[in-house]
Amino acid sequence: MSQNQNEQPKNELRDTIRQKYADIATGQRIVGGTCCDSDQSDTDVTMIGDAYQGVAGYVADADLGLGCGLPVEHAGIRPGHVVLDLGSGAGLDAFVARREVGDAGRVIGVDMTAEMVAKSRENVEKTGFDNVEFRLGEIEHLPVDPHSIDVVISNCVLNLVPDKTRAFAEVFRVLRPGGHFCISDIVTSEPLPDWTAKAIDLYVGCVAGAMVEKDYLGVIASAGFEAVKIRTSRRIDIPGEVIDKYARAQQLAEVKAGDLHVTSITVTGVKPPRGTR
């Protein structure tokens, strides 16, 4: 199979994901309170709830309820840091990070959906911050200079990236030697059944794009990161109503019998100092 043939399914997934989040940004799609909302009607699998309420730097207009963790909480961001937020959406985590970096620091958000970037830029104008910016781009091809970032954060986004190996290689590239990341994401307890991986709607909803936890950590280690550690972990069972429209009764029974579940994790890792790799 040629490289172009390999890329076609990934490009189709990117287009599907981009369209869903464009619809959310423009108000054409209802957000079910989570990145794992599989459709726009009656499914609501709460992943983050009201965890951001009361968090310093919180901007209500930037909260679309799409996260699965609080990456800034464990990111070790200090005044003066340059922070990169991957899949920044309407800017929620970027604004929280801005509170940590202060006036001397800088926050860059990158999102592949033009409508989300437009929304986040509107939010910047409302806040009046001059050290927060948002760029249009894909995580696998970041519009960011090498070795220019102190801390990378992301919230329930890497799971949606078709090429996670390339994504973490990009995180490694843009971090300064000794820099680090803190990423909240979704992983699974075991490999997902084939039928879920083929359900694009589930993929966009976080379920079918999730890797097995040990494999996910393996991708991070292979990218060159050290001191990789899970800071928080919370089991989230997959409700039958989320998957039963794709599954036959026997398939659903097998999922339940195998104790298949997803986990929200927040993981950190460090790029080695120069000369150690």
pLDDT of residue 129: 95
* Element at 4 (helix H, strand E): helix 3-25
The amino acid at residue 171 is V
Q: What is the pTM of this model?
A: 0.85
Convert the pLDDT of each residue in 146-187 to its tens digit.
999 999 999 999 988 989 999 999 999 999 999 999 999 999
Q: How many CB atoms lie within 10 A of CB 275?
A: 6
pLDDT of residue 41: 38
Written in H, E and C, the secondary structure of 172-190 is HHHEEEEEEEEEEEEEECC
Q: How many CB atoms lie within 10 A of CB 3?
A: 7
3-state secondary structure of 80: coil
Annotation: CATH topology of 3-270: Rossmann fold (3.40.50)
pLDDT of residue 49: 55
Burial class of residue 227, CB neighbours in 10 A (0-12, 13-18, 19+)? exposed
Contact indicator for 153, 97 with CB cutoff of 8 Å: yes
Say whether pLDDT at 81 is over 90: yes
Task: For residue 78, give the nearest of 180, 172, 174 by alpha carbon.
Answer: 180
pLDDT of residue 39: 43
Domain ranges, ordered by start, for the chain: 3-270
Q: What percent of the chain has pLDDT over 70?
A: 75
